Amino acid sequence: MESYIVETRALKKYYQLGTNVVKALDGVDFRVKDQEFVSIIGKSGSGKSTLLHMIGGLDVPTEGETYVDGKNLAEMNREQLAVFRRRKIGFIFQNYNLVPDLNLYENVTLPIELDGDCVDREFIDEILNLLKLQEKKEALPSTLSGGQQQRAAIARAIASKPSIILADEPTGNLDTASSHDVLGLLKAVAGRFKQTVVLITHDQDIAQLSDRIVHIEDGRIVRGSDAYVGE
Amino acid sequence: MTAAACCLFFVSVSMGIKMWKLKRDISSFTDRLLRCLNDMTCGRELERLNEEGDTLWDKVYEKLQKLERIWKRESAENLEEKKKIKSLISDISHQTKTPIANIKLYEEVLLDEGLGTAEAGEFLQKVRIQTEKLDFLLQSMVKMSRLETGVIEVCCMKLPLCGTLLRAVAAIVPKAEKKQIRLSVDCDEDIVVNHDTKWTEEAVFNLLDNAVKYTGRGGSVGILVSVQEIFTKISIRDSGKGIALERQAEIFTRFYREPEVYDQEGIGVGLYLARKIIALQDGYIQVCSEIRKGSDFQIYLPNG
């Protein structure tokens, strides 16, 4: 039987908005294979971010189940979820969320130190090298360009060697050329360290980089729901 | 006096209990660790424990699980790859039998002295076709052997990209000429990229080979190089039949063949190899294509 690193079963998320019920997710069956690079593409309000939040354990579904790495997220308490997010998932957001008072290197190693793990310096250097940030190690985030800040955020997400990287419109604040470069690096680095990536975007050109594109509309997957058979 | 003695007594008792607990914890930690390591060395499944806590054991266990998964995945992948390679090799070796038998046959006819020059020429032509078939099959074998893990070892050097591209183009010229396909290269001679010339040439050649294969007679294939902030982009654009969106990711998988060209020569490893070669140099390949409008394969290699 095929095993998936991410699997959602009939996932639903309804919000009560006044007298209306908003269906952010309406029965989503979504599967991702280990080491796959999947893009979820859809307009704003289509439910793509909600889906990502469910996979990352940042939100609780109204109905349905989410399995990540074989674990049912619904069975975890808050504390377990926090540990799960810290160890298994690397997040990349649109607003890089770097700590302004820490330099680039400290920002990258922060999640590892928070987990009480020892920092694998050789690994961090390798990542920074790949992401072309080696010379900016000591720089404060405010002195970096947008592309560099997002690359630093990618380095931070990868540094703790998570099983999955979840990226929510990571290039929303970048121009087209930098966007392509930054995501190219994400693809190259994730491939190198055998990581799974789920990327959210509204840009077809960016989605083109991935192994598979999933289209979501009005809380439902309309195309590309299943992983390819074969490789 | 008695109070002090009492105090001392309590302190030493509580210390004793603490020490005992510590000892118990350490021994249970090592016990569990050893059990897990035993499971792993014997190839058994790790016992499923809850590891969502934040204790030292939870952290170690989580890493053990990760290691177990990596091992399992690698061994499964190797097994699958071996199976496929085995069946393809047996397939190819089987296919070599026919041309060899044919060549032998034509040879016998040719050795028959009663043959006129025109007839002999015809048979020689037939021999040539069979030899070409053999050549193709053997080349496929060589490509297959490269799929074995570890065969591709890149050695990057800062060299002009232009030379590498031109060598790849030179190798495709005969095939392109046969189909009257126009080839063009647009690359600034000053562009220097840290790359492995031999393997990059192979990757570019595979993409060109692919482009020529799927482009009709009288079409065009062009290479365009541009330098971006981080990557240098080598775009190989053809005027061929294009690739359906849903197939665009699949084409890079091993042994993938477009369903409608099963009769054409090829074993379906060219693009897979190209992607592997580029990934080993920390770059990536992307394809943009539309049905009937041609395809644009883009290789991205890191600058510098």
Q: Are A181 and A147 in contact (CB under 8 A)?
A: yes
Task: List pLDDT tens digits, range B210-224.
Answer: 899 888 888 999 999
The topology under which CATH files domain B157-302 is Heat Shock Protein 90 (3.30.565)
Domain B74-147: give its CATH architecture. Answer: Orthogonal Bundle (1.10)
For residue A222, the chain B residues in CB contact (below 8 A) are: none
**Residue-level pLDDT at B120:** 84
Pairing between strand A6-17 and A20-32? antiparallel
Gyration radius from chain A CA atoms: 17
Query: What distances in angstroms separate CA B73 from CA A3, A110, B64, B193, B209, one per listed residue?
Result: 11, 30, 14, 34, 32
Taking the domains of chain B in order of start, what are their residue ranges?
A: 74-147, 157-302
**Residue-level pLDDT at A229:** 38
Q: Rounded to a whole number, what is the distance in Å from the CA of B286 to chain A's nearest CA?
A: 6
CA distance B32 to B47: 10
The predicted complex's ipTM stands at: 0.74
Which residue on chain B is closest to A213 by alpha carbon? B246
Q: Are A151 and A108 in contact (CB under 8 A)?
A: no
Q: Rounded to a whole number, what is the distance in Å from the CA of A100 to chain B's nearest CA?
A: 25
Q: Are B271 and B256 in contact (CB under 8 A)?
A: yes
Amino acid at the residue B122: E
**Residue-level pLDDT at B221:** 92
Q: Vertex A121, ends A118 and A123: CA angle to 5°?
A: 105
For residue B256, the chain A residues in CB contact (below 8 A) are: 230
Structure tokens at A212: 């598979």
Task: List pLDDT tens digits, range B84-106.
Answer: 778 777 877 887 888 899 899 88
- Contact between B256 and A185 using a beta-carbon 8 Å cutoff: no
- Contact between B70 and A194 using a beta-carbon 8 Å cutoff: yes
Q: Are A152 and A107 in contact (CB under 8 A)?
A: yes
**Residue-level pLDDT at B49:** 72
- Nearest residue to A219 (alpha-carbon basis) of A2, A9, A7, A13: A13
- Nearest residue to B99 (alpha-carbon basis) of B134, B123, B137, B124: B134
CA distance B236 to B233: 10
Q: Are A37 and A209 in contact (CB under 8 A)?
A: yes
Q: Given B62, B279, B287, which is nearest A87 (Cβ)?
A: B62
Is the CB of A80 inside 8 Å of chain B's CB atoms?
A: yes
* Contacts with A112 (C-beta within 8 Å, 6 or more apart), sequence order: A118, A119, A120, A159, A160
For residue A196, the chain B residues in CB contact (below 8 A) are: none
Domains in chain A: ranges and CATH: 6-223 (3.40.50.300)
CA distance B49 to B61: 8
- Contact between B249 and A211 using a beta-carbon 8 Å cutoff: yes
Structure tokens at B265: 């020569």
Q: Given B54, B70, B249, which is nearest A83 (Cβ)?
A: B54
**Residue-level pLDDT at B255:** 67
Is the CB of A17 inside 8 Å of chain B's CB atoms?
A: no
Phi-psi region of B17 (alpha: psi -120 to 50; beta: other; left: phi over 0): alpha
Q: What DSSP string describes B217-274?
A: TT-EEEEEEEE-SSEEEEEEEE-S----GGGTTGGGSTT---GGGTTSS--S-HHHHH
* Position B263 pLDDT exceeds 60: no
Structure tokens at A206: 């960016």
- Contact between B53 and A184 using a beta-carbon 8 Å cutoff: no
A208: part of which helix (H) or strand (E)? none
For residue B300, the chain A residues in CB contact (below 8 A) are: 184
What average pLDDT does chain B have? 85
B215-252 in b/e form (b: 16+ CB < 10 A) is beeebbbbbebeeeebbbbbbbbbbbbbbeeeebbbbb
Q: Are B176 and B221 in contact (CB under 8 A)?
A: yes
Q: Are A1 and A227 in contact (CB under 8 A)?
A: no
Q: Are A111 and A127 in contact (CB under 8 A)?
A: no
* Over residues B6-26, mean pLDDT: 92
Q: Which B residues in the span 129-158 are in contact with A, Cβ-Cβ below 8 Å?
A: none
Which residue on chain B is closest to A178 by alpha carbon? B229
* Position A108 pLDDT exceeds 90: yes
Task: List pLDDT tens digits, range B26-65.
Answer: 999 999 899 989 988 888 888 777 667 778 888 888 888 8
Q: Are A41 and A201 in contact (CB under 8 A)?
A: yes
Q: Which B residues in the span 275-304 are in contact with A, Cβ-Cβ below 8 Å?
A: 279, 282-284, 286-288, 300, 302
- Contact between A116 and B59 using a beta-carbon 8 Å cutoff: yes
**Residue-level pLDDT at A230:** 36
Is the CB of B57 inside 8 Å of chain A's CB atoms?
A: no
Task: List pLDDT tens digits, range B92-143.
Answer: 788 788 889 989 988 888 887 777 788 888 888 888 888 988 888 887 777 7
Structure tokens at A203: 């840009």
Task: List pLDDT tens digits, range B162-174.
Answer: 999 999 999 999 9
CA distance B304 to B298: 18
* Over residues A93-100, mean pLDDT: 89
**Residue-level pLDDT at A52:** 92
For residue B54, the chain A residues in CB contact (below 8 A) are: 79, 83
Helix, strand, or coil (residue A197): strand
Is the CB of A116 inside 8 Å of chain B's CB atoms?
A: yes
- Contact between B54 and A79 using a beta-carbon 8 Å cutoff: yes
Task: List pLDDT tens digits, range A109-142.
Answer: 998 888 888 888 999 998 898 888 989 999 999 9
Helix, strand, or coil (residue B48): coil
